[in-house]
A = this chain, B = another copy of it.
């Protein structure tokens, strides 16, 4: 790869290659330990070219965070079934979230583990993305309460708290699933599908542990046979 330095590769393509290499390096080594040398080598370009295109390690990290944030938000937004009931929107959004974080484990590691702790402006970028997802979930919980005729019953503050709890739960679960996948593929440690992980989340957030331990289950509307959550009941 080191030999590929042809001028014929368009700048936009080259930049994406550098960002891919940067995501991998930041995720594996951490922001502080990652070096521009390493990133350049992983991208198969010279270090001066990385500086020329992306300016500095700080700027590179910012660009990575923005790209990965936008990709994650776009994946969730694209997955949500518009016009569906609140629980189905949540279910489809969660499937999108877990599919994306499983397919982009390094991007997710950068957002979840690296970007939140290295001060401004990185923290702000991730906080903005997180706020967008939380606002969406808050709206869904509000809509769900309304659908079941429970307007005004859940105080605004509690709805916001529930949304933060739900997003934290999904983040934690996504991290766990990726770490398990990283640890190998022995029978015990296979990577659950995004759908299974989303089903675990829906059972948790929708049915609740109380109902769940009594054998109750959340299931997508009218799809109990074909698309039931039973895949996780092994």
Contacts and interface: CB of A to CB of B under 8 A. Distances in A.
Interface string A213-234: 1110010000000000000111
A169 B213 CA distance: 19
Interface in A12-67: 30-33
Most central of A31, A117, A145 by chain B CB within 10 Å: A117
A165 B213 contact: no
Interface stretch (A3-11, A74-82, A99-107, A201-209): A201-209
Interface in A150-183: 150, 153-155, 157-158, 160-162, 164-173, 175-177
22 contacts: A33-B119, A145-B213, A148-B214, A150-B215, A154-B233, A160-B176, A161-B177, A162-B203, A164-B172, A165-B201, A166-B204, A167-B172, A168-B169, A168-B170, A169-B172, A205-B208, A207-B211, A208-B209, A208-B211, A208-B218, A210-B211, A211-B211
Given A204-B205, A208-B211, 15 more contacts: A30-B118, A30-B119, A87-B210, A117-B118, A144-B210, A145-B213, A153-B233, A165-B169, A165-B173, A165-B204, A168-B169, A168-B172, A206-B210, A208-B210, A208-B212
